[in-house]
């Protein structure tokens, strides 16, 4: 009873107290719902009706406003591909196996020999297991039988070994490419690769593969500044960061959290993806790496990126996907009251923005800007009006209150994509590039030493830049490891980078032909 006796007698004070407890209760309920969703709910944020024609605008508004003019899109008639098993790719080699009748069954009952009138062909997909082999590099020695060298020893001549990416290493470029691709593309830890190689009859300890990866990254150190120059050469840079646990960092416990920073930029038709390891998440890391860059930088709402926007030469662009994500949480995890309606209203409007982007994706940058100002700006104005009119109607600590506050705080940056046809509404280009690191981290967990983290950053940069330029990573790495030891000049090195390499030189399989509709 002591708590009840301490309650104020004034009705107004009681109302304020009840309202405070109500907000706390709703906030805690929302947090519990989010935690349950993180454990059990589907992870996809894709709207089921995002591209099913134009989304309807909300019918109810708290504040009156002029309706938004929604762009009308005509969908042309199309044909559907017949369902069924997909044909096997034409580029695969074919081995013919003939199943013929015995000779005694090629005679008719009337005594006449049967005549071949055709054939039935059925194709089955076969798998040929990998084969390990040993390359024996034999270098004949030559000596003159008529001459003696110093101290009576004959002069011996022998051809030098070709330069190797790992001098005196036993792994060929092909094996190195396989090991590195398996880890940094397929997220397979070295200890699992050890088991795979054991099934092929070869013992390759994981510490050997780790040493190979670090030695390769060390040999390619001269590419660091070339990648940095490529990033800074373009008009747009997308940025993101993700956590990475690194052991044996000087002065830090092994449980400390470090980071891999991502920079995606360069020429739009030759994109560059660069990763950089750093123990901290400080905003000084991207600022130092980008130096005197001038142009657009697109990031999420992390406060560490705020320092990038202080320069007059940089236009800091926000991410509409992060704004949308918070309203998705509201729509899925709160009770279906007025909060749910407002969240859905904003999500529908954001869906219209993406519909505009879908319709203009094939246009030139200049045409994109024109269409956005005509079609997207009215939708953006409608979203901002809802945020301004309704933010005071909801508890600030509720999911919707937090979502609306975040959107308003990010709004000035989030709408800047409209004025540049090279930008998209979101930072998904960076998020997609950082995802392989997150996937790999679930498998190999940590980097053993800081040098290992630096090596991982270098190798991730190579394979992800290759993927961004539509190059098969393993074929590219084999080519790079074969050619890089012989380079002499900076121009030679630049010609081997994924952005500039002559794709006709790469040992890759032809791509499957698309199915006809």
3-state SS class at 464 = helix
Give the DSSP H or E segment for 238. Answer: strand 236-246
Under 8 Å between Cβ of 290 and 261: no
Q: How far apart are CA 246 and CA 385, in angstroms?
A: 46
Phi-psi group of 168: left, alpha or beta (phi > 0 → left; psi -120 to 50 → alpha; rest → beta): left
Which residue is it, tokens 């690191």? 437
End-to-end CA distance of the chain: 76
CA-nearest of 165, 426, 430 to 274 is 430
Whether residue 469 is found in the same domain as residue 419: no
Whether residue 254 is found in the same domain as residue 351: no
Whether residue 311 is found in the same domain as residue 323: no
* Residue 143 placed within a domain: no
Whether residue 327 is found in the same domain as residue 454: no
HSE, side-chain direction, 13 A CA sphere, residue 292 = 0
Q: How far apart are CA 467 and CA 456, in angstroms?
A: 16
Q: Where are the alpha helices (DSSP H) in 271-398?
A: 284-290, 320-333, 338-360, 365-371, 377-390
3-state SS class at 326 = helix
Whether residue 181 is found in the same domain as residue 300: yes
In this structure, the chain runs to a length of 517
Under 8 Å between Cβ of 421 and 368: yes
Mean pLDDT of the 207-214 span: 95
Q: How far apart are CA 35 and CA 41, in angstroms?
A: 10
Under 8 Å between Cβ of 413 and 303: no
pLDDT digits (tens, 9 = 90+) for 453-498: 999 999 999 999 999 999 999 999 999 999 999 999 999 999 999 9
Is pLDDT at 198 greater than 90 in this prediction? yes
Whether residue 451 is found in the same domain as residue 304: yes
* Residue 285 placed within a domain: yes
**What are the backbone dihedrals phi and psi of residue 392, each rounded to the nearest 5 degrees, phi first?**
-80, -5
Whether residue 418 is found in the same domain as residue 506: no
HSE, side-chain direction, 13 A CA sphere, residue 316 = 20
Give the DSSP H or E segment for 413. Answer: helix 399-414
pLDDT digits (tens, 9 = 90+) for 228-252: 999 999 999 999 999 999 999 999 9
pLDDT digits (tens, 9 = 90+) for 287-312: 889 888 999 999 998 888 887 776 77
Strands (E), 390-504: 446-447
Q: How many domains does the chain have?
A: 2
Q: How many percent of the chain have pLDDT more than 90?
A: 59
Is pLDDT at 62 greater than 50 in this prediction? no
As beta bridge partners, residue 317 has: 298
pTM, 2 dp: 0.80
* Residue 19 placed within a domain: no
More confident position, 352 or 14: 352
* Residue 136 placed within a domain: no
Q: How far apart are CA 91 and CA 93, in angstroms?
A: 6
Whether residue 210 is found in the same domain as residue 340: no
Whether residue 266 is found in the same domain as residue 388: no
DSSP 8-state code for residue 247:
S
Mean pLDDT of the 10-23 span: 72
* Residue 432 placed within a domain: no
> How distant, in Å, are the alpha carbons of 385, 463, 477 from that of 130?
61, 22, 18
Whether residue 192 is found in the same domain as residue 269: yes
> How distant, in Å, are the alpha carbons of 208, 448, 466, 475, 477 from that of 504?
33, 38, 14, 11, 15
For the chain, give the longest Cα–Cα distance.
Answer: 120
Under 8 Å between Cβ of 409 and 387: no
Is pLDDT at 342 greater than 50 in this prediction? yes
Q: How confident is the model at residue 284 (pLDDT cuts 50, 70, 90)?
A: confident
Q: Which of 30-34, 160-164, 293-297, 311-315 has the lowest mean pLDDT?
A: 30-34
Token readout for 291 is 């130096």
* Residue 158 placed within a domain: no
Whether residue 301 is found in the same domain as residue 202: yes
Summary mean pLDDT of the chain: 84
* Residue 476 placed within a domain: yes
Whether residue 345 is found in the same domain as residue 261: no
* Residue 338 placed within a domain: yes
3-state SS class at 482 = helix
Q: What range does the domain containing 488 cover?
A: 172-318+445-512
Give the Cα-Cα-Cα angle 282, 283, 285 (nearest 5 degrees): 80
């Amino acid at each position: 009873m002591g708590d009840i006796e301490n309650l104020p007698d004034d009705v107004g004070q009681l109302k304020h107290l009840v309202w405070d407890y109500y907000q706390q209760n709703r906030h805690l309920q929302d947090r519990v719902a989010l935690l349950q969703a993180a454990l059990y709910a589907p992870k996809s944020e894709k709207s089921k009706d995002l591209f099913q024609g134009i989304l309807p605008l909300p019918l109810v508004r708290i504040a009156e406003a002029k309706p938004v003019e929604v762009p009308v899109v005509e969908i042309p008639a199309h044909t559907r591909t017949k369902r069924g098993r997909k044909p096997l790719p034409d580029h695969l080699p074919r081995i013919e196996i003939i199943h013929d009748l015995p000779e005694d069954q090629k005679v008719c009952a009337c005594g006449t020999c049967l005549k071949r009138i055709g054939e039935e062909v059925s194709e089955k997909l076969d798998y040929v297991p990998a084969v390990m082999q040993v390359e024996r590099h034999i270098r004949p020695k030559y000596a003159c039988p008529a001459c003696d060298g110093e101290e009576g020893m004959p002069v011996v001549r022998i051809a030098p070994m070709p330069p190797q990416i790992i001098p005196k290493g036993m792994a060929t470029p092909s094996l190195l490419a396989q090991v590195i691709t398996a880890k940094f593309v397929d997220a397979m830890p070295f200890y699992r690769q050890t088991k795979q190689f054991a099934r092929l009859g070869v013992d390759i300890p994981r510490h050997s593969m780790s040493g190979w990866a670090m030695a390769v990254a060390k040999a390619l150190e001269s590419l660091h500044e070339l990648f940095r120059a490529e990033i800074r050469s373009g008009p747009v840079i997308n940025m993101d960061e993700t956590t990475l646990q690194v052991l044996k960092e000087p002065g830090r416990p092994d449980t400390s959290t470090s980071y891999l920073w991502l920079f995606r930029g360069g020429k739009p038709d030759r994109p560059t993806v660069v990763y950089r390891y750093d123990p901290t998440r400080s905003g000084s890391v991207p600022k130092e790496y980008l130096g005197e860059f001038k142009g657009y930088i697109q990031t999420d709402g992390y406060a560490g990126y705020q320092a990038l926007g202080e320069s007059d030469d940089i236009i800091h662009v926000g991410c509409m996907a992060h704004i949308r994500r918070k309203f998705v949480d509201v729509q899925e995890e709160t009770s279906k009251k007025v909060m749910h309606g407002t969240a859905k209203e904003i999500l529908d409007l954001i869906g219209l923005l993406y519909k505009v982007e879908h319709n203009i994706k094939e246009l030139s940058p200049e045409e994109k800007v024109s269409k956005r100002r005509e079609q997207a700006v009215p939708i953006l104005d409608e979203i901002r009006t809802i945020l301004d009119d309704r933010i005071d109607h909801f508890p600030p600590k509720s999911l919707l209150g937090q979502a609306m506050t975040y959107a308003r705080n990010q709004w000035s940056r989030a709408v800047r994509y409209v004025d540049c046809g090279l930008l998209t509404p979101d930072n998904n280009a960076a998020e997609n590039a950082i995802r392989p690191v997150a996937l790999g981290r679930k498998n190999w967990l940590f980097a053993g030493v800081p040098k290992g983290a630096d090596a991982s950053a270098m190798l991730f940069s190579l394979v992800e830049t290759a993927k961004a330029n539509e190059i098969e990573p393993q074929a590219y790495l084999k080519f790079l490891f074969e050619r890089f030891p012989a380079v002499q000049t900076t121009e030679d090195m630049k010609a081997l980078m994924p952005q500039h390499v002559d794709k006709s030189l790469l040992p890759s399989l032809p791509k499957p032909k698309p199915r006809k509709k």
